[in-house]
Amino acid sequence: GENVEQHPSTLSVQEGDSAVIKCTYSDSASNYFPWYKQELGKGPQLIIDIRSNVGEKKDQRIAVTLNKTAKHFSLHITETQPEDSAVYFCAASFSGAGSYQLTFGKGTKLSVIP
């Protein structure tokens, strides 16, 4: 089955700096890669996703890049703000017939220091 590794497990940045979280996956058939943000005491919230037919996607201060050859994808947050502090999870999935399962990384706790 799919295996997703996520690094680092914790990350502290100064407000205004950039943060980068990296994930690798094992199944070359995976073609959907979402990122979730989880605030304390809440459920995960989808913040951005990318599908295997594109290499990069941006949404304001966040971006995701995908390298299918190397089987890794990354989340980039620019101009970080205190409200970006949360746990971030990457995931991978093969969205083909009969397969609906997301495999998650173990999470990165991001702390933005004012």
Partner 1 sequence: NAGVTQTPKFRVLKTGQSMTLLCAQDMNHEYMYWYRQDPGMGLRLIHYSVGEGTTAKGEVPDGYNVSRLKKQNFLLGLESAAPSQTSVYFCASSSGVWEQYFGPGTRLTVT
111 lines the binding site for partner 1 (CB under 8 A) = no
45 lines the binding site for partner 1 (CB under 8 A) = yes
52 lines the binding site for partner 1 (CB under 8 A) = no
Let me know the angle formed at the C-alpha of 8 by 13 and 37, rounded to the nearest 5 degrees.
75
Least separation in angstroms between CB 9 and partner 1: 8
Instruction: List the structure tokens of 79.
Output: 């101009």
78 lines the binding site for partner 1 (CB under 8 A) = no
Among 44, 73, 77, 92, binds partner 1 (CB under 8 A): 44
| CB of 19 or CB of 92, closer to partner 1 | 92
List of E strands, the chain:
4-7, 10-14, 19-25, 32-38, 45-51, 56-59, 62-67, 72-77, 86-92, 103-104, 108-113
Nearest to 89 by CA among 16, 26, 29, 7: 7
| CB of 78 or CB of 103, closer to partner 1 | 103
Q: Which residues bind partner 1 (CB under 8 A)?
A: 1, 6, 32, 34, 36, 41-46, 49, 89, 93, 95, 99-107
